Amino acid sequence: MALNLGVRVGNLQLKNPVMLASGCCGYALEMEEFFDLSLLGGYCLKGLCEGGSEGNPPPRLCETPGGLINSIGLQNIGIEAFLKEKAPKLRKAGSVMVANFYGHSVDEYAAAAERLQAEPCIAALEMNISCPNVKTGGIAFGTDPKLVHEVTAACRKATAKPLWVKLTPNVTDITETAKAAEDAGADALSCINTYPAMAIDVERRAFKINTRSGGLSGPAIKPLAVRAVYLVSKAVKIPVVGIGGISTWADAVEFMLAGASAVQVGTALFSNPLAPLEILEGMREYCARHGVEEISTLTGAAKDFERPSCNLPSRTK
């Protein structure tokens, strides 16, 4: 039985649903030391802005139960430097490159989108309106449906490339920001960015992260992210890319069943750079075991519990 791992995210065809999440694979060149990027569905670059940024002062990272908090503050070399220094090397990588970007105003967002539009090796743009770690830009745009609409519309005008909007989960009702982005012309929604979080070192009685708050990622947030993907995919017609705590093939399948067309692996890369390949292999086996011929049929296929009287879960072999 032939298995088709290919998925479509709007107009963009991916050879398989497994991508690398922004900020967790640098500019992807570091990943090439571990494996061939073209084995994956694609990868998202570290969030770029015009002129670049030095990010936040350290400490920028700490561990929490089943997760980690980061406050990198979107350090990046800038769009210009990226296009000059990194892009030429990445052209050969032969995988789908998605450029994650941000600005500090609607105009900056649009200008960044326009600047990236020019680079042929960029397959899609992922608009980050959800970073909890920068004072202006980032999450400020992502929590208000009106602003989401405005900034998405501005970027939509600025680029003909597929435009993905990366949502923040830090809202009362994520379907409202999702619909705003859809209405304004987004081609897909990346669900989700990190959750605002905090940790305190009790011996020092000091915040563990320099900026006090940071963004929580990793397995701990998976059940929150699965719900976000489920709600958003029911609320909009455009495809959803699932992100949040994916570290095993079963996690990836879970996000697809919840409604994701493709998935991104972030934090799991830190402890296991080969996680994306292991996830892909596991998904392949899962499909074979379940007689799935088109992996895309998993999207949104979760059903209700068949026997409400039965209290027991099935076992994952």
Partner 1 sequence: MASKPMHLVQNARRGPYATLTLRGEVIPSHPGQFYMLRGDWGLSPLLGRPISILGEEAARSEVRFLVKAVGEGSRILHALEPGDVVHATGPLGSGFPLSGWDPQSPVILLAGGVGVPPMVYLASRLSESGAGIIFCQGARTKEDLLLLDELEEMGVTPHLATDDGSAGHKGVVTELLARELEYQPGAVFACGPEAMLRSAARLCKGKAPCYVSLEAAMGCGYGVCLSCVTQVTKEGRTANQRICKEGPVFDAEALPWL
Ligand X SMILES: Cc1cc2nc3c(=O)[nH]c(=O)nc-3n(C[C@H](O)[C@H](O)[C@H](O)COP(=O)(O)OP(=O)(O)OC[C@H]3O[C@@H](n4cnc5c(N)ncnc54)[C@H](O)[C@@H]3O)c2cc1C
Ligand Y SMILES: Cc1cc2nc3c(=O)[nH]c(=O)nc-3n(C[C@H](O)[C@H](O)[C@H](O)COP(=O)(O)O)c2cc1C
Binding site for its own copies (CB under 8 A): 57-59, 62, 64-67, 69, 143, 170-173, 195-210, 212-213, 216, 219-224, 226-227, 230, 245, 250, 253-254, 257-258, 286, 301-306, 308-317
Binding partner at 94 among ligand X, partner 1, ligand Y, none, C-beta below 5 to 8 Å by kind: none
Binding partner at 128 among its own copies, ligand X, ligand Y, none, C-beta below 5 to 8 Å by kind: ligand Y
Dihedral class, residue 74 (left if φ above 0, else alpha if ψ from -120 to 50, else beta): left
- Asked if residues 166 and 181 have their Cβ atoms less than 8 Å apart, the reply is no
- Asked if residues 132 and 170 have their Cβ atoms less than 8 Å apart, the reply is yes
Structure tokens, 2: 């032939």
- Asked if residues 2 and 179 have their Cβ atoms less than 8 Å apart, the reply is no
- Asked if residues 165 and 156 have their Cβ atoms less than 8 Å apart, the reply is no
Among 100, 159, 264, 267, binds partner 1 (CB under 8 A): 267
Structure tokens, 133: 């770690």
Among 1, 202, 310, 312, binds ligand X (CB under 6 A): 312
Dihedral class, residue 24 (left if φ above 0, else alpha if ψ from -120 to 50, else beta): alpha
Total binding residues for ligand Y by CB under 6 A? 26
Among 12, 40, 74, 188, binds ligand Y (CB under 6 A): 74
Q: How many CB atoms lie within 10 A of CB 69?
A: 27
Q: How far, in Å, CA of 27 to CA of 264, rounded?
A: 15
Structure tokens, 13: 């065809």
Per CB under 8 A, contacts with partner 1 among 144-183 are: none
**Closer CB to ligand Y, residue 134 or residue 292?**
134
**Closer CB to ligand Y, residue 230 or residue 292?**
230
Among 42, 47, 132, 169, binds ligand Y (CB under 6 A): 47
Interaction of residue 317 with ligand X, rule CB under 6 A? no
Binding partner at 205 among its own copies, ligand Y, ligand X, none, C-beta below 5 to 8 Å by kind: its own copies
List CB contacts of 88: < 8 A, sequence separation 6 or more.
Answer: none
Residue whose entry in the numeric block shows the structure tokens 């694609």: 42
CA 275 to chain centre: 16
- Asked if residues 90 and 29 have their Cβ atoms less than 8 Å apart, the reply is yes
44 part of the active site:
no
Interaction of residue 218 with partner 1, rule CB under 8 A? yes
Interaction of residue 116 with ligand Y, rule CB under 6 A? no
**Closer CB to partner 1, residue 30 or residue 285?**
30
Of all helices (H) and strands (E), which one includes residue 313?
A: none
Shortest distance, CB of residue 32 to ligand Y, whole angstroms? Answer: 19
Interaction of residue 138 with ligand Y, rule CB under 6 A? no
Structure tokens, 87: 């892009």
- Asked if residues 143 and 168 have their Cβ atoms less than 8 Å apart, the reply is yes
**Closer CB to ligand Y, residue 16 or residue 247?**
247
Q: How many CB atoms lie within 10 A of CB 92?
A: 10
Among 16, 53, 95, 128, binds ligand Y (CB under 6 A): 128
Binding site residues, partner 1, CB under 8 A: 23-26, 30-31, 33-34, 46, 54-55, 58-63, 65-68, 70, 72, 75, 218-219, 267, 269-274, 309-313, 315-316
Catalytic residues, which ones?
131
Binding site residues, ligand X, CB under 6 A: 63, 312-313, 315
